[in-house]
Every structure is written in C-alpha cells, then in structure tokens.
Structure 1
Amino acid sequence: MPMYFFVLPFIYLISLLPFPLFYGVCDFMFFILYYVTGYRKKVVLQNLRNAFPEKSEKEIRGISRRFYRYFCDLLLETFKTLTISRASAIKRCKLTPEALAVFTRYAEEGKSIMVVMGHYGNWEWAGNTFSLECKHHLYVVYHPLSNKYFDGLIYRMRSRFGTGLIPMKDTFRDMVSNKGELSATAFIADQTPAPTSAFWTTFLNQDTPVFQGTEKIARKLNYPVVYAKVQRVKRGYYEISARTLFEEPAMTSDGEISAAHTKALEEDICKQPEYWLWSHRRWKHKRPEPVKKTTSPIIY
C-alpha cells in the first residue's frame, strides 16, 4: 500500500503532461530500461532468436532496440488513459472504415461478438476507442492483479469510457449473464496457459500452448469471432483493423478457431515484429509428452 500511494501522484503527473513532454519522458525511460537496467533483455533477445532463426544477430538486435522504444511508449500511454479526453482518444486510435463497417453490421443484426487479439500495438487505447465509437458494450477479459490498489487503478483506466472488465475465471458465466445485451467480449489470446489443458500449435517457429477457453466459449455461444489488429501508424497514433474469422463457430472442428487466430497474429507480428510484447515469457512451458498406453498382463 505505501508504494501505491507513493507512485500514484507520479502516474497522474505523467498522464497530465502534454504529448511532446510526455514522449520526452518515454525517451528517458527507454534509455534507463535499455541501456542502464537491461530490463528482460535476455528474454527479449532469446525470444527473437527463436522466432526468427533466419535473421542475423544485427537484425535481431535492431528489432530488440525498436521494441524497447515501443514498449516504453506503451507503458506510459497506458497511464494516459487516466486523463485523456474523448476527442484525443479517438484521434490517436482510429477504427479503419472497414473495421467500423464490420462492427456496425453485427450491431445492426443484433449479434453479440467475440473479439480476439494479441499483445500487439496498443490494446489499451483500442478498448477506449471501441467503447466510444461502437454500439456494442465492450467487455475485456483480464487477470486481476494481486495488489488490490493497483488492480483498482487499472480498473479505473480501462473502464473510464464504459468498457466492462471480466475476470478470466468468470468469463463464461458472465458472458451468459450478459446474453440479454448487445456485447463484444475481447480476449487477449496470446497469453500462456497451463500446458496440459492447452491447444498446442506452432507459433513463430516454436511449440506454443494456446488457451482453449476462447474457442470453447465461441462454439458454445456461437458468437461470430472477429480478429482485431492494432497497428502503430506513427508515434502516438494507432489504427484498428478487424476481420471476421468465423461467422458460425458452432460449425467448426476442434482447434480450428485457436489455429486461425494464432496464425492471424503471427502474420501481423512477422510484418512488424517490434510491436509485439517480446518481454513476455511466452514459451516457458514445453509440450507434454503423450501418455503411453500400457497393456496389463493377462492373468490366467
């Protein structure tokens, strides 16, 4: 608790800075994290080497440096959501006309949807823009923080413009209870699940576990699955694109949805790899060995 009340004024101060000064602070933070502390640099470099074995070490380090610049902007841009105006939120993170058309069509049809995305671009600003611009009530599935004070701060940042939050453990229950309203439930689907309950696939040249909950819920509720991408256009500006992956998830086979949204994210990462969250320990689990069947001896 003392740490929370110590840092809270600085968080608000950063949030209130005009953008030119704000990004000056981001530049200073980049210098500290990249050159002084080397925050998770070994993790980032190893992830990049494993994901892109065809790239030279010079290319890998170039991506790493650009990632840290983006990462520092992203962290502080999250604080900006505490005080950013509605007009500025929409100006700095826009829906493409095609994405708006996708969401508008489902709203006019009265269909609730599931939005699947990754830790790419600025997913925090994207949530604000969706809530301000779209007719669906947006819910975001999230992991509550263990510190109730910081968790409350994150909740305030994410819900300022009407976004609802659903703890991951309550996802299906809450989505069923929300069936009476026009809703869009967003899943950040590139987190690391328990290896034994995951769908396993190849992602960025590595065996990768994927949460099956997204797929299972989509098939049970038969909500259209929309993949969303938050592209960084230039510093401080993002663009949200969206496309439907499945209109009728109930008609899909096991693993089809998980494989499709994982592949879509991989394609986006390969185009501009610096805008994905490489500091995350995405590959900390190994694929479990298949259980060997044993034959019991026949006793006469």
Structure 2
Amino acid sequence: MTDSAARTEITGTWSEWAQDRALRGLIRTALALPYAQRVALMGHVVQRWIAPRAGYLDRAISNLDYVWPEMDQDEKRQIAEGCCNNFGRTTIENYSLKDLFKRADSTTLSGDGLDAIHKAKAEGRPVLFVTGHFGNFEAPRAALVKQGFQIGGLYRPLSNPYFNQHYAQNMHDLCGPVFEQGRRGTMGLVRHMRQGGMAVLLFDIYDSGGVPVDFLGKPAPTLTSAAEIAAKTDALLVPFFGIRQPDGLGFKAEFDAPLTAGDAVAQTVAMTQTLEARIQRHPEQWFWVHRRWKPGRQERQRRRAAASIAP
C-alpha cells in the first residue's frame, strides 16, 4: 500500500500520519538488524530517547508514586526505565514474527493450567486466555501456536488510526482471527469461541464502564467481559504470562489453573491477583506507561454521581 493510499483510506490527522511514518521508519530500521541487536536497540531507544520526550517515563513514575508512595525515588526511576526498555523490546519482538516463532522453541512452558488446555484442545472445548501488559504477552501465544494451537484475540484499537492499521494486521499474522473491541468484535469473538476456538484477551485496561477492582491497592475500573464471554461459551478461563528472562531475549510462559469459582466480578478479581503476583516479582516488566487508574477522572465521576442523587 502506498503512503497516499493509506492517507485516503484512513481518517486521521496529518500529525497522526507523520507520527506513524516516523514509527514505521524506526521499525523498518530495526528490522534490518540481526534479531538480538534490534531488540536491544529498540529497548534502548524507547528507554533513553522516546519515553523521556513523549512523557512515558514521567507517567510511569507518576503511577509508581500513586501505588507505592513509600518506595525510594531512585528505585521508582529504575523500575520506570526498565518498563520503557521492556516496552521497546516487546514492540519490535512482536513485529519480528519469524524470529518470535523461532525463539518460541526455547520458551519454557509451566504451570497448573497446561494439562487443562491440552485436554481442552483434544476435546474441542474453547479456551479464553487472559493476561496483562506484562513481559511480552505474545510470547506464550507464539509458543502455543508452535505446538499446533490456533489462538485469536480481542484488542483495543490504538488512537492513531494509521499505526493501528498495521498493528492489527500484525496481530492477525501472528495467529488469527483478531477482533476489534466493541459490540461487533465481541460478537465475532463469541462466535469463534462457541465453535471451539481459543483466544487471548488483555484485561488490565482502564474503562470507565468497568467495575472498580483493586489493582496494586488502588481501585481500577475493569471490564468483566472476559469472565462473561467465558461463561457464555463454556470456555476455560486461563491466565497466562510471558515473563522476560535475564538475558532480555528469552521467555518463560506461565499458565495458571483455570479460574472456576465465583461470578464475573469474582473471576475478574482473581485474574487481577494473578497479574499482581507477577508484578510484585518483576515490577519493571509491567507497562507502567498505561493510564491504568486515572484517579482524577474517577474522583470526578464520583462527584457527578453524588450530585445526581443529592436531594
């Protein structure tokens, strides 16, 4: 697709188009390097150049101030910089599909959920994997695809429509089908699951329509849709995590036992706790750059709600 065609087919601003051109250029440059070098380069560029200038580093530190105010500031900065490095590495890894699949052969798979998902595959029972923006969330998916699993997903579109176009296509290329978050996409995912399909959903995203679930000690509005979809389709609900190893390139994929007890809210709390446990062990691997809590917005919503019921 030509640049002019991309501009005519997608509605966006010239600023968004220019940002996308710059990001595409950086990705193309990195992809020209050997795998280990490109991953290290993107980690460094995002940590040292992009994150400080785009405000990501400050946002990560602000989030750490919010949930762990007693932590030493130097430790917070170290975690925030590690997060930005992991963010850069994850981005280019997920654009390096051939290499990601190649390295999946060396990914260690473990956890109480492994036997359950293999049994589900043999029986044709759907499985909905849930995870967070931690480590590389595509690494477990790639490892399972190499073993013959076909795993789709539900994703939230990026705000930049030009970048979102190739971002979504890249996820589909990893292993489709991929559905865009929303009523139509959710219906497509449910149909896919009811046919015995498997999919992955990232649940650690702020949504004003969600239930306030405590996350690292602070309320974070969270959609319960993962648990609801699993209930509708009789799917196993299995948390998994791709944990980056000390070499910066390898991963360990952990699969927790299926979540079975409780209603949708209780299961959402349970999956949140599985993510919290990983963050406590490897805080630099969670994407602190996300606006996960938005305490100011939550407070404004509480005030509006209180005013609406005041006599």
TM-score by length of 1: 0.83
- Matched-pair contact (CA < 8 Å) for 2:133–2:287: yes
- Tell me whether 139-148 or 271-280 shows the greater mean CA deviation: 139-148
TM-aligned CA deviation for residue 54 of structure 1: 3.3
Residue 204 in structure 1 maps to residue 216 in structure 2: yes
Q: 1:174 aligns with which of 188, 192, 205?
A: 188
User: Deviation string for 1:180-235 (max 9, x for gaps)?
Assistant: 533112110000111xx311122112121111222222222232210111111131
Q: 2:171 aligns with which of 158, 162, 165?
A: 158
User: Deviation string for 1:17-66 (max 9, x for gaps)?
Assistant: 212431452324432235x6263222111111222233222222222222
Name 2:88's counterpart in structure 1: 72
Change (3 A) 1:41 1:110: same
Residue 143 in structure 1 maps to residue 156 in structure 2: yes
- Tell me whether 258-267 or 54-63 shows the greater mean CA deviation: 54-63
Residue 87 in structure 1 maps to residue 126 in structure 2: no
**CA distance, structure 2, for counterparts of residue 236 and residue 189 of structure 1:** 25
Residue 30 in structure 1 maps to residue 47 in structure 2: yes
TM-aligned CA deviation for residue 239 of structure 1: 1.6
- The 5-angstrom pairing of residues 1-300 of structure 1 reads 1=7, 3=18, 4=20, 8=24, 10-26=26-42, 27-33=44-50, 37=53, 39-81=55-97, 83-84=98-99, 86-88=101-103, 90-91=104-105, 93-96=107-110, 100-135=114-149, 137-145=150-158, 148-169=161-182, 170-179=184-193, 181-194=195-208, 197-234=209-246, 235-247=248-260, 252-284=262-294, 285-286=297-298, 288-289=301-302
Change (3 A) 1:212 1:20: closer
TM-aligned CA deviation for residue 113 of structure 1: 1.3
Name which one, 1 or 2, has greater alpha-carbon Rg: 1
SS of residue paired to 1:120: coil
TM-aligned CA deviation for residue 7 of structure 1: 5.2
**Structure with more helix by fraction:** 2
**CA distance, structure 1, for counterparts of residue 79 and residue 223 of structure 2:** 27
SS of residue paired to 1:241: strand
SS of residue paired to 2:212: strand
**CA distance, structure 2, for counterparts of residue 20 and residue 172 of structure 1:** 37
**CA distance, structure 2, for counterparts of residue 168 and residue 104 of structure 1:** 27
Number of matched pairs: 286
Unaligned runs of 5+ in 1: 296-300
Name 1:298's counterpart in structure 2: none
**CA distance, structure 2, for counterparts of residue 43 and residue 85 of structure 1:** 29
Residue type of the alignment partner of 1:69: N
- Matched-pair contact (CA < 8 Å) for 1:198–1:212: yes
TM-aligned CA deviation for residue 178 of structure 1: 2.1
TM-aligned CA deviation for residue 155 of structure 1: 2.8
**CA distance, structure 1, for counterparts of residue 219 and residue 58 of structure 2:** 20
- Matched-pair contact (CA < 8 Å) for 1:50–1:205: no
TM-aligned CA deviation for residue 120 of structure 1: 0.4
Change (3 A) 1:75 1:7: closer
- Matched-pair contact (CA < 8 Å) for 1:114–1:226: yes
**CA distance, structure 2, for counterparts of residue 97 and residue 214 of structure 1:** 21
**CA distance, structure 2, for counterparts of residue 138 and residue 186 of structure 1:** 7
Unaligned runs of 5+ in 2: 1-6, 8-16
- Matched-pair contact (CA < 8 Å) for 2:111–2:255: no
**CA distance, structure 2, for counterparts of residue 98 and residue 219 of structure 1:** 21
SS of residue paired to 1:178: helix
**CA distance, structure 2, for counterparts of residue 18 and residue 233 of structure 1:** 19
**CA distance, structure 2, for counterparts of residue 161 and residue 205 of structure 1:** 35
- Matched-pair contact (CA < 8 Å) for 2:140–2:240: no
**CA distance, structure 1, for counterparts of residue 220 and residue 23 of structure 2:** 36
**CA distance, structure 2, for counterparts of residue 143 and residue 39 of structure 1:** 21
- Matched-pair contact (CA < 8 Å) for 1:43–1:279: yes
Change (3 A) 1:13 1:102: farther
- Matched-pair contact (CA < 8 Å) for 1:138–1:186: yes
